[in-house]
């Protein structure tokens, strides 16, 4: 099989497929990426991936190329894992997918199945089927299926090898695609992973619906945080009490700085845009509010920093702990932490950032921010310290040792994971996003995605 597009999703998928015993050829148009992968080095940080990649490249089961002719010759199953980033108008940009199918199709010589794994607006598989039919030689008998991916960065390997479910979407009467997918995933299916076999449109929709639900859950609890701030309630206790209700559950109910990353923000916007095209825009109106609540978390964080600095940020030094959009990854796409860091800088603060894994990516994207090489160094000499990505390392820092190094021992916690009683005992003033009085109407304010 081949895996076309070897980014966060594709490199992990290719490696895990090889781990399951398949012969895999990964293809990417970025030669630096394929060169690193071929040497067994992932071009990004993902726990457990490096060792598995190294093992499978050394065994020869996993290889990489940038040649579509080679890929067409190699496999009868071609997974499509290229990017579907957000367009300026909010819709999904499908050019990488269109290009991948257009480049592969003319080389196909024997019956094969293309399987989309990228996250797409409903109707994309039908469009790509037309492209495929137009460009593939008749004898190739190429068909297209859609099997969306649900892995989380930071848990990508375990999520690929032990997913909650598999979704196989295929066009009417295309038993060949289903048989091929069942064969590829036989080990997982035998282990009891549920499979939903459906049509192409439903498969595409399942993915965007899942991400929309997750985003909605996060924004729901962050909306409760806004109300708690106004009413003097404690959103953490509220979340805990909701989580005991097994119908609600505790996952994706952590209040704080909200969601970022290369998936949830763009996927809810792409879903809204597509629903409008289909004349079903009203059905997804609530997702705009989900997005709006999420934006306001970033605005609120900046306000808390401003207040902690006596009302003005100009000339103040602010330490930012975290650059990745969440712990466990070096991915900074639409990172809430960096959006806040950039907004503080724009308001005149000197901002110094530290992240255990995402420093290189952050430096490349925001060379004008200052970077420190440790959590303690980022805190040094600051007027306020912001905890914005909940890496375990930050929870292990001794606040007493840090208090002497800062200009003022003020912490603002935008995430969970710090023992704030300990920080307070060490002399720190601690504000928590989600507590404290609301002072201004933020309905019109917005901090745009700093990484777009
Ligand atoms: N990152 C995740 O955790 C995750 C999880 C589930 C689904 N997804 C979805 O998977 C898709 C890929 O996401 P990602 O995070 O891996 O993106 P990414 O940007 O990290 O990877 C995309 C890769 O495709 C390559 N590429 C672009 N055009 C190409 C072409 N024509 N031929 C071959 N390679 C090409 C790029 O060089 C890049 O390496 C998106 O649709 C995303 O929404 C991502
Ligand atoms: O209770 C929570 C849970 C998460 N987050 C934030 O939400 C964002 C997304 O987190 P997560 O969903 O764990 O990360 P992703 O790797 O982006 O994974 C999502 O996006 C992928 C790409 O579509 C899907 O495959 C996954 O199923 C889906 O969880 C991050 O910024 C988190 O900090 C919260 O603020 N509160």
The predicted complex's ipTM stands at 0.99
User: Which residue is catalytic, options 16, 263, 309, 430?
Assistant: 263
Provide the pairing of β-strand 166-170 with 142-146.
Answer: antiparallel
Strand order, beta sheet including 24-27: 62-65, 24-27, 2-4, 77-80, 112-116, 142-146, 166-170, 195-198
Which residue(s) pair with 92 in the sheet? 86
Domain end among 198, 218, 246: 198
Residue of 290, 287, 228, 232 lying closest to 258 (CA atoms): 290
Q: Whose CA is nearest to atom 15 of ligand 1?
A: 8
Pocket of ligand 1 (CB under 6 A): 4-10, 27-30, 33, 81-84, 96, 99-100, 118-119, 149, 151, 153, 262-263
Q: Is the pLDDT assigned to residue 437 strictly greater than 50?
A: no
Spatial distance between the Cα atoms of 104 and 114, rounded to a whole number of angstroms:
10
- Do 431 and 449 reside in the same domain of the chain? yes
Q: 301 with 432, same domain?
A: yes
β-pairing verdict for 195-198 and 112-116: unpaired
Residue 82: CB atoms within 10 A of its CB come to 24
Same domain, yes or no: 159 and 289: no
Tell me the CA–centroid distance for residue 120 and ligand 2, in Å: 17
Nearest to 79 by CA among 89, 91, 71, 69: 71
Whether 430 is a known active-site residue: answer no
List residues bridging with 142 in a β-sheet: 112
pLDDT at position 435, please? 74
Instruction: Tell me how far the alpha carbon of residue 441 lies from the centroid of ligand 1, in angstroms.
Output: 38
pLDDT at 443 over 70: no
List the residue whose alpha carbon is closest to atom 18 of ligand 2. 152
Q: Which numbered ligand comes closest to the C-alpha of 3?
A: 1
Query: Which one of 157, 182, 198 terminates a domain?
Result: 198
Tell how far CA 378 is from the center of its chain. Answer: 25
- Pair (136, 243) in one structural domain: no
Question: Is the pLDDT assigned to residue 139 strictly greater than 90?
Answer: no
**Overall average pLDDT of the 360-364 stretch:** 98
Query: What is the whole-number distance in angstroms between the Cα of residue 83 and the centre of ligand 1?
Result: 3
Q: Which protein residues touch ligand 2 with a CB less than 6 Å away?
A: 119, 149-153, 211, 214, 218, 252-254, 256, 258-261, 263-264, 267, 325-326
d(CA 449, CA 264): 13
- pLDDT of 120 strictly over 70: yes
Task: Mark whether 347 and 230 lie in a shared domain.
Answer: yes
Q: What is the mean pLDDT of the chain?
A: 95
400 shares its domain with 344: yes
Distance 272 CA to ligand 2 centre (A): 19
Phi, psi of 164 (to 5 degrees): -70, -35
| 138 confidence band (pLDDT: 50, 70, 90) | confident
DSSP letters of 148-185?
Answer: ---PPTTSHHHHHHS-S-EEEEE-TT-HHHHHHHHHHT
pLDDT at 258 over 70: yes
Whether residue 88 is predicted with pLDDT greater than 90 in this model: the reply is yes
Q: How far apart are CA 258 and CA 326, in angstroms?
A: 10
pLDDT at 449 over 70: no
Residue nearest ligand 2's atom 30 by CA: 259
Tell me: pLDDT of 91 over 60.
Answer: yes
What pTM does this model have?
0.96
- Asked whether residue 282 falls in the same domain as residue 356, the answer is yes
- The pair phi, psi for residue 217, each rounded to 5°, is -65, -45
Look at the alpha carbons of 333, 334, 336, 339 in this order and tell me if their dihedral is positive or negative: positive
Number of domains the chain contains: 2
Q: What is the pLDDT of residue 417?
A: 83
Task: Look at ligand 2, atom 7, and give the residue with the nearest C-alpha.
Answer: 259
Q: How far apart are CA 338 and CA 344, in angstroms?
A: 10
Mean pLDDT of 112-116: 97
> Binding site for NAD(+): which residues?
28, 33, 84, 119, 153, 266, 333
Q: How far is CA 67 from CA 30, 70, 137, 277, in A?
A: 11, 5, 18, 36
Domain containing 66 equals 2-198
More confident residue, 112 or 435: 112
What is the per-residue pLDDT for 442? 42
What value does the mean pLDDT take over residues 13-37?
Answer: 98
CA 46 to CA 8: how far, in whole Å?
8
Question: What are 441's two structure tokens?
Answer: 């109407």
pLDDT over threshold 50, residue 60: yes
**Per-residue pLDDT at 444:** 45
User: Do 297 and 254 have their domain in common?
Assistant: yes
Give me the half-sphere count of Cα atoms (radius 13 Å) on the Cβ side of residue 416.
Answer: 9
pLDDT at 312 over 80: yes
CATH code of the domain in which 380 resides:
3.40.50.720
Q: How many whole angstroms from its chain centre is CA 391?
A: 16
Length of the chain: 452
Q: Whose CA is nearest to atom 9 of ligand 2?
A: 259
Q: How far is the CA of 78 from the centre of ligand 2 (A)?
A: 27
Q: Is the pLDDT assigned to residue 114 strictly greater than 90?
A: yes
Q: How sure is the predictor about 423, in pLDDT bands with cuts at 50, 70 and 90?
A: very high
């Amino acid at each position: 099989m081949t895996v076309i597009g070897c980014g966060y999703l594709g490199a992990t998928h290719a490696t895990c497929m090889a781990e399951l015993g398949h012969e895999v050829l990964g293809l990417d148009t970025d030669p630096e990426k394929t060169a690193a992968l071929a040497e067994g080095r992932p071009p990004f940080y993902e726990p457990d991936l490096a060792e598995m990649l190294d093992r499978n490249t050394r065994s020869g089961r996993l290889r990489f190329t940038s040649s579509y002719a080679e890929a067409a010759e190699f496999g009868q199953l071609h997974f499509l894992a290229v990017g579907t980033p957000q367009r300026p108008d909010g819709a999904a940009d499908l050019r990488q997918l269109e290009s991948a199918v257009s480049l592969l199709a003319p080389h196909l010589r024997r019956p094969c199945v293309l399987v989309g794994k990228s996250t797409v607006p409903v109707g994309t598989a039908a469009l790509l089927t037309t492209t495929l039919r137009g460009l593939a030689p008749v004898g190739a008998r190429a068909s297209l299926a859609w099997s969306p991916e649900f892995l989380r960065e930071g848990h990508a390997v375990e999520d690929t090898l032990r997913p909650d479910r598999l979704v196989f979407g295929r066009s009417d009467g295309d038993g060949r695609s289903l048989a091929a997918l069942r064969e590829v995933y036989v080990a997982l299916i035998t282990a009891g992973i549920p499979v939903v076999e459906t049509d192409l449109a439903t498969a595409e929709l399942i993915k965007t619906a899942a991400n929309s639900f997750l985003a909605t859950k996060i924004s729901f609890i962050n909306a409760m945080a806004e109300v708690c701030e106004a009413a003097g309630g404690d959103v953490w206790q509220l979340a805990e009490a909701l989580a005991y209700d097994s119908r609600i559950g505790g996952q994706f109910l952590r209040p704080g700085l909200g969601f970022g990353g290369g998936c949830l923000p763009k996927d809810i916007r792409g879903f809204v845009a597509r629903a409008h095209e289909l004349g079903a825009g009203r059905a997804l109106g609530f997702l705009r509010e989900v997005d709006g609540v999420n934006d306001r978390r970033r605005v609120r964080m900046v306000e808390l920093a401003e207040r902690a600095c006596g009302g003005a940020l100009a000339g103040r030094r602010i330490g930012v702990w975290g650059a990745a959009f969440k712990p466990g990854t070096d991915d900074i796409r639409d990172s809430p932490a960096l959006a806040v860091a950039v907004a503080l800088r724009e308001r005149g603060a000197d901002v110094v950032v530290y992240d255990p894994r995402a420093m290189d990516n952050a430096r490349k994207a925001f060379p004008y921010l200052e970077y420190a090489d440790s959590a303690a160094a980022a805190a040094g000499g600051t007027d306020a310290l912001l905890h914005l990505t909940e890496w375990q390392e930050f929870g292990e820092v001794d606040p007493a040792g840090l208090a002497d190094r800062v200009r003022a021992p003020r912490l603002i916690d935008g995430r969970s994971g710090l023992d704030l009683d300990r920080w307070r005992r060490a002399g720190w003033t601690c504000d928590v996003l989600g507590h404290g009085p609301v002072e201004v109407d933020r309905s019109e304010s917005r901090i745009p995605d700093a990484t777009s």
